[in-house]
Amino acid sequence: MKTLTMTLFVALLASGCVNLRTPDGYAEMERTGLYDYKAVSTDASVVAVRVHRNQDKKQGTLAYWTEASRKHLTLSRGYDFKEEGKFASDQGEGRWLLFQKKYRGTDYLYLLGLVVKGRDIYALEAGGEKGVFEADIAKVVKAFASLD
């Protein structure tokens, strides 16, 4: 029994379990392939978390990944950068970046939060139609800060 308990504990650690307080108005979804956490609202806005492996622990800092993400999304993906801010979580200091993009005549917002802890890079993503998601930004950033 002790061996089984230890095996399950190790499996949970290896599976990339992410704990995040689900924002009001969102429902947590079953964990699937791409995401370690995902929740959706009735307005089809989404909050999701992926954990990536930081290959260069010395150079791959929060500042590095923040700037790399901003450049990738604006220069390669066509997003317009709107604003950024900071948050603190149990996993460490985080940065959030807000972007906007028009798709088929509708404006969408994309909120990216980043936390770097050792070799783990937490990419906290959220977004939806601007008209409905804009009101959720503060509570989503608050949820980002609940990362533990």
- For 28-58, write each residue's pLDDT tens digit: 998 777 899 999 999 999 999 999 988 876 7
Angle CA 87–16–95, to nearest 5: 15
Flag whether pLDDT at 111 surpasses 90.
yes
Residue 35, in any domain of the structure: yes
CATH number for the domain spanning 62: value is 3.40.1000.10
pLDDT recorded at residue 61: 92
- pLDDT at 5 (0 to 100): 32
Query: Residue 38: which domain range?
Result: 19-145
Quick one: pLDDT at residue 16?
A: 53
Mean pLDDT value across residues 109-134? 96
Mean pLDDT of 110-117: 97
Instruction: Tell me the three-class secondary structure of 119-138, residue by residue.
Output: CEEEEEEEEEEHHHHHHHHH
Domain count, the chain: 1
In this structure, is residue 7 part of a structural domain? no
Cα(first)–Cα(last) distance of the chain, in Å? 28
Q: What is the pTM of this model?
A: 0.85
